[in-house]
Amino acid sequence: MKILVAEDDHETAQFVANGLRELGHVVDATGDGREAFMMAGSEPYDVLVLDRMLPRMDGLAIIRGLRSMETMTPALFLTALDGVSDRVDGLEAGGDDYLVKPFAFSELAARVMALGRRPRQTANAQTELAAGGLKMDLLARTVTRDGKPITLQPQEFRLLEFLLNNAGQIVTRTMLLEGVWGFHFDPATSIVETHISRLRSKLDDGFDQSAIRTVRGAGYIIDG
């Protein structure tokens, strides 16, 4: 993927850019807001990684500007602000995801991948999701694995739907907390692990291979 990283803290910018290059992406980096806006407006990037506070033009203004020019490149905000309203402001301006500093690189990488693969606003929402032998009918709310029907609780269904939507990509614990349960904090109780384990035992019953793979130190993945 071609990724633009706009971050004025040199060390963070290097850390992010080098990490993404190691994963095989093409990365342009800049520390200046206006330059980032010009680059994002003229070159076809797959994902933008924008710091909220940039010299000359801040992240929110860049996104507003791009969206008004119909440039819909998915954007991830990086920020040191974890205010209740900061996240809302970022998403309202047209950002697609939000990551609070300091963050683990694996978290950033997983989110960038998820954004890059996101289907571009398909008008007709999908009614069926499928990956690795799993099939999910979103209208009938049924799930099968290799044709065998599996009964799921509503929250287990939501969890599997999120994983299937991101099939082939690592999904982190934080992404699940935000995407499935709407938690923007880390609860003391291990709710993600428990739900994954319950979902797994239902999906894997009678199968040799686990449908959901754990990627140590990173998250979970359903291979596509």
Partner 1 sequence: MGNASFWRSGAFRTAMLSGVLFVGMTVVLLALVYQVATSTIEHQISASVEARARTLEQALEEDDDVEELSHIVPAQEELFRYVENAEGKALIADLVPRQHLMGADVLSADQVLHHFVEGERLDDSGIIGFGMQSRNGGYVYVAQEDEQVSELREALLQAGLVATGLAILLSFLLGWWIALRTFRRIEGLNSVAANVMGGDMAQRMPVSARRDEIDLLSAQLNRMLAQLESVMGAIRQVTNDIAHDMRTPLGRLQRKLEQAQVKDDPDAVNALVSSALDESRTMLDMFGSMLRIAQIEGGGLQKHFVRFDLSAMLMDLAETYRPAIADGGRELVANIQSGIEVFGDRALVQQMFSNLVDNAAVHTPRGTIVRVTLERRGNDWMAKVADTGPGIDPEHRPQIFDRFYRADASRTTRGSGLGLALVKAVAEAHEWDISIANGGGLALEIRPVK
Interface residue list for partner 1 (CB under 8 A): 82-85, 88, 100, 102, 153-155, 181-191, 193-195, 198
- Give the whole-angstrom CA distance, residue 4 versus residue 6: 6
Our CB check for partner 1 shows the closer of 25 and 111 to be 111
Q: Residue 215: CA atoms inside 13 Å, Cβ hemisphere, count?
A: 15
Least separation in angstroms between residue 34's CB and partner 1 is 30
CB burial class (10 A; 0-12, 13-18, 19+) of residue 7? buried
Give the residue with the Cβ less far from partner 1, 100 or 167.
100
* Distance in Å, CB of 189 to partner 1, minimum: 5
| Nearest distance, CB of residue 190 and partner 1, angstroms | 6
Q: Cβ(167)–Cβ(161) under 8 Å?
A: no
Considering beta carbons, is residue 119 or 154 the nearer one to partner 1? 154
Phi, psi angle pair for 181, to nearest 5°: -110, -5
Maximal CA-CA distance, the chain: 59
In angstroms, give the least distance from the CB of 35 to partner 1.
30
Residue 59 backbone class (left: φ over 0; alpha: ψ -120 to 50; beta: rest): alpha
Q: Of the two residues 111 and 195, which places its CB atom closer to partner 1 in the complex?
A: 195
Least separation, in Å, of the C-beta of 154 and partner 1? 7
Q: Which tokens hold the place of 170?
A: 């690592």
- Which CB, 6 or 156, lies closer to partner 1? 156
CA distance 106 to 217: 8
